Amino acid sequence: MSTEQGRIAWVVGASSGMGRAAALAAAREGRAVAVSARRADRLDAVVAEITAAGGVARAYPGDATETDWAQRTAQAVAQDLGGIDELVLAAGLNTPQRAWADQSIAELEDVVSVNLVAAVRAIDAALPALRVRGGTVVVVSSYSAWTFSPGAGVAYSASKTALGSICRTLNAQEAQHGIRATHLCPGDVDTDFLSRRPVVPDAEARAVMLTADDVARSILHVLDAPPHVRIDELVISPLAQR
């Protein structure tokens, strides 16, 4: 694989929102990009946009919660594109029924499966390739993982908070292989994900939030840091964050 920077990024959750913005931004900087999500049609649109601009991208659709999906996909990405240098995990799930008074255990398990278990599976699957040249992992978490946010919900808060420990264990155990991980905690972001809130923010509230592109710039800041620099945790929030 020959790209301007010789880097290959795998973005999970790339069909919309922050993941899509990260994939497009990474491609603009000369990276070959592998994009994954469940919605194949939206992934195809991302690939088409990247290739139309002269970039290199391939789509690997699938359900990240399936037991062997991450392993199969990581192997395919490494084989097709020549490796994996960067892993960006931007898939996430929440539910409007998120309090002890109205949550269902089935939905709680779904949220934890997407936010935590699927992320661990993707990291574990990508590690062999990441170790080859020393890779970077960016876990897009949440402001509610950095500080307690009462409205985030039981499952979401617990699963996102746990991602901080995932990043810390990676940094403690994999630095010897040149791997570094960042726990990225964005505040309110104007994306389709807001439709999962019990009360969906209106246009006035969205106007003062971060954009997906704001988060993508922060992801690139992490990915472009010199190899000897590790950004353990990065919290970004809109000026209006409460």
Collapsing DSSP to helix, strand or coil, 229 comes out as coil
Question: How far apart, in whole angstroms, are the C-alpha atoms of residue 232 and residue 238?
Answer: 21
Confidence of residue 35 (pLDDT cuts 50, 70, 90): very high
Q: Active-site positions?
A: 156
* pLDDT (average), residues 23-29: 98
* pLDDT (average), residues 192-216: 91
pTM of the model: 0.94
Taking alpha carbons only, the member of 221, 79, 32 closest to residue 138 is 221
Domain edges within the chain = 8-236
What is the structure's pLDDT at 240? 85
- Whether the per-residue pLDDT at 131 is higher than 60: the answer is yes
Residues facing residue 56 across a β-bridge: 32
What is the structure's pLDDT at 242? 79
In percent, how much of the chain has pLDDT > 90? Answer: 91
CATH 3.40.50.720 describes domain 8-236: yes
What is the structure's pLDDT at 5? 52
In tens, the pLDDT along 157-173 reads: 999 999 999 999 999 99
Burial of 193 (0-12, 13-18, 19+ CB in 10 A): middle
First-to-last alpha carbon distance for the chain, in angstroms, is 45
